[in-house]
Structure 1
Amino acid sequence: MDLALLLALMAIVIPVLLHLLTRASKPRPGTAKLPPGSLGLPVIGQSLDLLRAMRANTAEQWIQARVDRYGPVSKLSLFGIPTVLLTGSKGNKFLFFNPSLASQQPQSAQRIIGERNILELMGADHKRVRGALLEFLKPDMLRLYVGKIDDEVRRHLDENWAGRRTVTVMPLMKKLTFDIISLLLFGLEGGAVRDGLNRDFDHVMDGMWSVPVDLPFTAFRRSLKASASARRVLAGITRETKAKLQRGEASRNSDLIACLLSLTDDSGAPLLSEEEIVDNAMLSLIAGHDTSSILLTFLIRHLANDPDTLAAMVHEHEEVAKSKGDGEALTWEDLMKLKLTWRAAQEMLRLVPPVLGTFRRATEDLEFDGYLIPKGWQVMWMAPTTHKDGSIFPEPDKFNPSRFENQAASVVPQCSFVAFGGGPRICVGMEFARIETLVAMHYLVRRFRWKLCCKENTFVRDPAPSPLHGLPIELEPKAASP
């Protein structure tokens, strides 16, 4: 696209957006009023302000400043779309459980992942695809895969941690979680195909939150190109797995693709199309490795300066190890005993949620707390508004895993801890993330001691949290452990 054509398109698009923003900002006769706030500059709105705050790690203060100024409900404009920001557990509950609010991804993410992924679907299609994914991710299925995850973690530590004086945690955690998820989703063992897919996904992530203009040398172009490459690989794996199922060389329990291909409707027809399988495999790869790697990285970061929690965690894991034979893999039953470790992980997710917040789209005019949410507007929730609320979590900036010992509604109101979202669209991979985290931490805390290399213990969001320099640490091996 040459410059003249781009300018011509902008001359057409910008006036249309201005008209839509102006029209949307006017209350409709006979309805509730719009929330307080400002839509800001045309098209740009508050997008740059939010992105700057995320990159400066001041997003929580940015959100709180809006709440202090406008209250728990306010209007703004993000990424060219009028938006209502809802805060607090009441707002979260309204957003998570309202069937008239559809999932809303940035256009860039939609084009990169595919239009038939579960985040884009509504109604019967969403229920059908979600049910298919849950068939693979339900506990009865996941217990079959603990041994495979155990093998991957031990192999990873032997190859990438053992014998090293220093390591950089974030890229290694991304590699570990990608290897685990690609093994369980597609049955991919280590090798050229898995390594190539991993490289593709590094670039897929580059343009997930970018201006969706397909021009040379842009992050969006790189992501589209990497997405196309990854999709070709996944489509090939899908066809190969289908052939293996027909020959009896694979079963429904082999991996996610085999499971999805095995599902049929009442008439015996495939429950999911190949496009839906590939699109949701793309999404599962992104969600299944990126968020877990962030959790593991920030747990390691915190434990370096929290000897009491680390000692309690080591004790818990050593107690489990005592019941195992040399080299014996962890089991589902072993993981159920690691309660302190998961409470620490939940507390880490509360303090540093991998996803700061997401959007929904109003499919009709809605009213919340006396305010109008017009059809077509975005509705946004942000995790820190409840995660850092001192009335819900006393001393909210303090790391305190014990606060998750009792999560009764009388202690933590519904939709207050929202690291995995909530309602009918709560993360389908929540239980998988727990297993992956517990297995990884079991071998990390028993095999190594570590300390941070950087005196500054900071991180930024772009849009996911990333610690300074990827979190380099100094390693010290412990006495040999099985």
Structure 2
Amino acid sequence: MEFSLLSDVLPLVCVLIATALTVRLFMRSKSDAGSLPPGTTGWPIFGESLEYLKKGWNGNPQEFIQERMAKFSPHAFKTSLFGAHTVVLCGAAGNKFMFSNENKLVTAWWPASIDKIFPSSTQTSSNEEMKKMRKLLPHVLRAEALHRYIGIMDSISRRHLESDWANRDEVTVFPLAKMYTFWLACRLFISVEDPDQVAKFSEPFNLLASGIFSVPIDIPGTPFNKAIKASNQIRRDLRAVIKQRKIDLAENKASPTQDILSHMLLTADDDGNFMQEMDVADKILGLLVGGHDTASITITFIIKYLAELPEVYTEVFREQMEIAKSKAPGELLNWDDIQKMKYSWNVACEVLRLNPPLQGAFRQAIVDFTYSGFSIPKGWKLYWSAHSTHRNPKYYPEPDTFNPLRYEGSGPTPYTYVPFGGGPRMCPGKEYARLEILAFMHNLVTRYKWEKVIVDDKIIVDPMPVPEGGLPIRLYPLKA
């Protein structure tokens, strides 16, 4: 019976492989004829996705971009990533072109696998949902709202350090940093701050983050399959929170301005319609993912570099202690305090240059156009990568050296520093991230010095960078 099944399936497999090879050869001949950028599209079906991911797993995500820039062209090269024929635009000129032509020549694009992890209750694509979110976010992340958040961020960071860092000789930074940023996101987005409830929410988020840019094989046990299940679980949990909030709003037990959830439930669209519960759950899910993962990674690497570079720690400590000494006992941080943290933010910026949580992003050509003498056909995918500029000696002398002074004066050359993207699609949560990172830095360095347990720790990217082992450190409390 097994032999019979094999004899039935084998011809079909051969046909599929032959078809894939034919398509690949056709695309290559079409690319050559159309003067596409030089490069290779790799294996049938998988393209170069495994090579791209492998570089990250080995701790060198920049090598995928740098090697192809050196081999093919420093301006652009072709490849195939996550099932799509792709042109990677490189350097400051590539970033400027991509960011300046949003909705003119290119539009945002995500691999189809993302729609499986973030299915829309309104049956629209993840791209359409993200467009809606970008219209909504400026209202809830406006400057005056962020000013009010600073005290909450300070309070949550204090509570987190007291509950999870105090009276411990060693801690592992990355999971604790995620705990802080997720706790804060839950508080500001949905007014959930009980540690037990926050912990319950956080469990499936770890599975979700690991599967977003994994190989999209949807069979039990794979990271991709686990991410899909985790997404569905989170949306069910969020729906229960939403139902209760609607009751509380109707009974005046909740404030219309207390958080982003209330704002979403009470804000109508241009046609006067309010979002359905599952639609709100979709949006909150996206916010919780974006609102804690990237910041927790940045906090982890800040702690790593401050352990490795005592002269940088000393300068951050000096700046933060001046602020601490100006505060009355128990007084929370405010906007003026944040504005004084210039060197501390320079440190965070250098961390974001060397280890950007967002490696890059996709676009799709909406018309035929040319770039740097190459033809880009309509429908082809494009990719910009932080690694084409962030460690490029053309833009950053001694690019592997940690130097916070790069951001003094006018700072980096335009379009070379892109940890938050750029153009119309620049991350709308940039200022939110700045505030939560600086609030945590202030409370940490005014309480502790520390050293790494693993001296030569390796960095892995899966799908975002993190020190191997999560960065265990030894804590040395400072005397009051």
Normalised TM-score (structure 1):
0.91
Aligned pair partner of 2:119 in 110, 114, 121: 114
Q: How do 1:332-481 and structure 2 match up within 5 A?
A: 332-407=335-410, 412-480=412-480
| SS class of match (2:87) | strand
State the match for 2:45 in structure 1.
43
Shift of 1:12: 7.4
| Gapped regions of structure 2 (runs ≥ 5) | none
Shift of 1:267: 4.9
CA 1:52–1:127: 2 relative to 1, 3 Å? closer
CA 1:33–1:199: 2 relative to 1, 3 Å? same
Q: How do 1:47-446 and structure 2 match up within 5 A?
A: 47-71=49-73, 72-98=75-101, 99=103, 100-115=105-120, 120-121=126-127, 128-270=132-274, 272-407=275-410, 412-446=412-446
How far apart are the structure 1 equivalents of 2:227 and 2:13?
23
Shift of 1:302: 0.4
Structure 2 residue identity aligned to 1:60? Q
Check whether the contact 1:178–1:289 (CA below 8 A) recurs between aligned residues.
Answer: yes
Check whether the contact 1:117–1:283 (CA below 8 A) recurs between aligned residues.
Answer: no
CA 1:335–1:347: 2 relative to 1, 3 Å? same
Structure 2 residue identity aligned to 1:336? Q
Q: Which piece of structure 1 moves more, 127-136 or 172-181? A: 127-136
CA 1:202–1:28: 2 relative to 1, 3 Å? closer
How far apart are the structure 2 equivalents of 1:299 and 1:354?
13
How far apart are the structure 2 equivalents of 1:363 and 1:190?
46
Root mean square deviation, CA, Å: 2.6
Q: Which piece of structure 1 moves more, 304-313 or 249-258? A: 249-258
Check whether the contact 2:183–2:195 (CA below 8 A) recurs between aligned residues.
Answer: no
Shift of 1:117: 11
Shift of 1:105: 2.4
Normalised TM-score (structure 2):
0.91
CA 1:382–1:187: 2 relative to 1, 3 Å? same
Shift of 1:76: 1.2
CA 1:277–1:14: 2 relative to 1, 3 Å? farther
Shift of 1:250: 2.5
Shift of 1:390: 2.1
Structure 2 residue identity aligned to 1:439? A
How far apart are the structure 2 equivalents of 1:12 and 1:446?
65
Shift of 1:191: 4.3
How far apart are the structure 2 equivalents of 1:384 and 1:61?
8
Q: How far does the alpha carbon of each residue in 1:253-296 deviate from its partner, in whole angstroms, 9 at most, with x for none?
A: 211111122222455332x4444422221121111111111100
How far apart are the structure 2 equivalents of 1:476 and 1:418?
35
Check whether the contact 2:360–2:386 (CA below 8 A) recurs between aligned residues.
Answer: yes
Check whether the contact 1:103–1:119 (CA below 8 A) recurs between aligned residues.
Answer: no
Percent identity (aligned): 37
How far apart are the structure 1 equivalents of 2:467 and 2:130?
35
| SS class of match (1:35) | coil
Shift of 1:444: 0.4
| SS class of match (1:164) | coil
CA 1:275–1:89: 2 relative to 1, 3 Å? farther
How far apart are the structure 2 equivalents of 1:314 and 1:28?
55
CA 1:127–1:81: 2 relative to 1, 3 Å? closer
Q: How far does the alpha carbon of each residue in 1:145-170 deviate from its partner, in whole angstroms, 9 at most, with x for none?
A: 11211111111111111110111111
Check whether the contact 1:117–1:276 (CA below 8 A) recurs between aligned residues.
Answer: no
Q: Alignment length, in residue pairs? A: 472
Shift of 1:232: 0.7
Shift of 1:226: 1.4
CA 1:297–1:78: 2 relative to 1, 3 Å? same
Check whether the contact 1:108–1:207 (CA below 8 A) recurs between aligned residues.
Answer: no
Q: Which piece of structure 1 moves more, 461-470 or 96-105? A: 96-105
Q: Which piece of structure 1 moves more, 255-264 or 348-357? A: 255-264
Structure 1 residue identity aligned to 2:38? P
Structure 1 residue identity aligned to 2:412? V
Check whether the contact 2:182–2:198 (CA below 8 A) recurs between aligned residues.
Answer: no
Shift of 1:336: 1.4
CA 1:78–1:163: 2 relative to 1, 3 Å? same
Q: How far does the alpha carbon of each residue in 1:277-326 deviate from its partner, in whole angstroms, 9 at most, with x for none?
A: 22221121111111111100001000112122111111111111122111
How far apart are the structure 2 equivalents of 1:6 and 1:327?
71
State the match for 1:34 in structure 2.
36
How far apart are the structure 1 equivalents of 2:278 and 2:415?
33
Structure 2 residue identity aligned to 1:356? Q
Shift of 1:248: 2.7
Shift of 1:186: 0.7
Structure 2 residue identity aligned to 1:53? K
Check whether the contact 2:77–2:89 (CA below 8 A) recurs between aligned residues.
Answer: yes
Q: Which piece of structure 1 moves more, 210-219 or 198-207? A: 210-219
Q: How do 1:13-28 and structure 2 match up within 5 A?
A: 17-18=20-21, 20-27=23-30
Q: How far does the alpha carbon of each residue in 1:328-354 deviate from its partner, in whole angstroms, 9 at most, with x for none?
A: 111122111111111110111001111
Shift of 1:96: 2.1
Check whether the contact 2:141–2:429 (CA below 8 A) recurs between aligned residues.
Answer: yes
